[in-house]
Structure 1
Amino acid sequence: MDGFQAYGAGKAGQAFDPLTFIRQPQTVMRILCWLFSMVILACVANEGYVNRPEEVEEFCVFNRNQHACNYAVAMGTLCFLCSSCFLALDVYFPQISAVNDRKKAVMADIGVSALWSLIWFVGFCFLANQWQFSNSEDNPLDEGADAARATIVFSFFSIFTWALQGLLGVYKFKLGADSVTFNQDYVDPNQQEPVEAPPTEE
């Protein structure tokens, strides 16, 4: 079948079209997830730690809680790597010939997206709580305040970008399952065995 589709992609071996790939909603959401993780990582790594003149060691702007900054840095780094890997998988996905392998890739995308949405929800709540209880006396010059607020905001945005990514994966899974079922039930009339004509009476 020329129009065969399995899990949102056509037959393997077709030419890759960058313009069509960039315009796909799943690609747009993937790039947003990648950008948000970069913003969070850059904000905390560059301005998330400050120090007072009388102190030698730097402390985290989130209520002097090192775990808050470590959480943001770790999640930003892992999310960046994860987004990059799945973006590469999206590029390679149309070249996967086995339907079962495509199914596994889509299911992995759904599971990972749901997990990251949950992780960023926890991170948003944790960072917002620590910022709320931060003592202004620890940071009288309000250093890193903008970076801290940006980290919280983009953590909040990341919840929805990953959730939407998961919903797009579910849609892709349902669409793929339907198309595969249709393809399995389809029988090419040209490949059917010819029916023998009954013998004629002499």
Structure 2
Amino acid sequence: MDGFQAYGAGKAGGTFDPVTFFKQPQTVVRILCWLFSIVILGCVSNEGYVNRPEEVEEFCIFNRNQNVCNYAVAMGTLCFLCCSAFLALDVYFPQISGVKDRKKAVMADIGVSAIWSLVWFLGFCFLANQWQVSKVEDNPLNEGADAARASIVFAFFSVFSWAVQSLLAVHRFKLGADSVTFNQEYVDPDQQEAQQEALPTDE
């Protein structure tokens, strides 16, 4: 069938259309997730550490808790790589000919997006709590305060952007499952009538 659709894409082998690709809701939300991870990574890695004249090593501005900065940097890096991988998969997705392979890709999107939403929720709570209890005497000049607040805000945004991404993937899964079932069960009425006429009749 010319109108065959499976999990949000037509038959494999079509040409890549960048305009259509970037207009897709899952692409827009995934790019937002990607940008948020860059902002968090940049804020914490560049301005999340300060040092005092009497100290040799830098310390994390989030309550001098090195684990907070390590968490934010690690999650920002992994999230950036994950978004890049799934963006590449989104580009390649229409070329996947197997319906089962498409189903696996969409299910992976659902699971990974849900996990990242949880990860950023924990990250937001961790960052916000440690920033709230940070001592003024540890950072009297309030260095990196804007970057710290930005990382908290974008961690909060990331919770919802990944949750939306997971819901969009669930929607694609449901539409895909319905369309596959339809295409497997659909019989053209004209074809069915022709088959019935071709059957031998009992005299």
User: When the two structures are superposed, what TM-score results if normalisation uses the length of structure 2?
Assistant: 0.95
Q: CA deviation at 1:197?
A: 4.5
Aligned to 1:43: 43
Residue identity opposite 2:122 in structure 1 = V
C-alpha RMSD over aligned residues: 1.4
**Secondary structure, aligned partner of 1:52:** coil
Aligned to 1:136: 136
Q: Distance in 2 between matches of 1:196 and 1:20?
A: 46
Residue identity opposite 1:36 in structure 2 = F
Show CA shifts across 1:39-58 (max 9, x none).
00000110000000100100
Q: Distance in 1 between matches of 2:122 and 2:41?
A: 16
- 2:193 matches 1:195: no
Runs of 4+ more than 3 Å apart: 188-194, 196-200
Could you tell me which runs of 5 or more consecutive residues in structure 1 were left unpaired when the two chains were aligned: none
Q: If each structure's helix is expressed as a fraction of its own residues, which one has the higher value?
A: 2
Change (3 A) 1:199 1:64: closer
Aligned to 1:90: 90
Residue identity opposite 1:14 in structure 2 = G
Show CA shifts across 1:159-201 (max 9, x none).
000000000000000000000000110124548645245487x
1:7-156 mapped onto 2 (5 Å cutoff): 7-156=7-156
Show CA shifts across 1:89-112 (max 9, x none).
000000000000000000000000
Q: Distance in 1 between matches of 2:94 and 2:142?
A: 50
Q: Distance in 2 between matches of 1:197 and 1:162?
A: 59
Q: Percent identity?
A: 78
Q: Distance in 2 between matches of 1:74 and 1:196?
A: 67
**Secondary structure, aligned partner of 1:137:** helix
Q: Distance in 1 between matches of 2:146 and 2:40?
A: 12
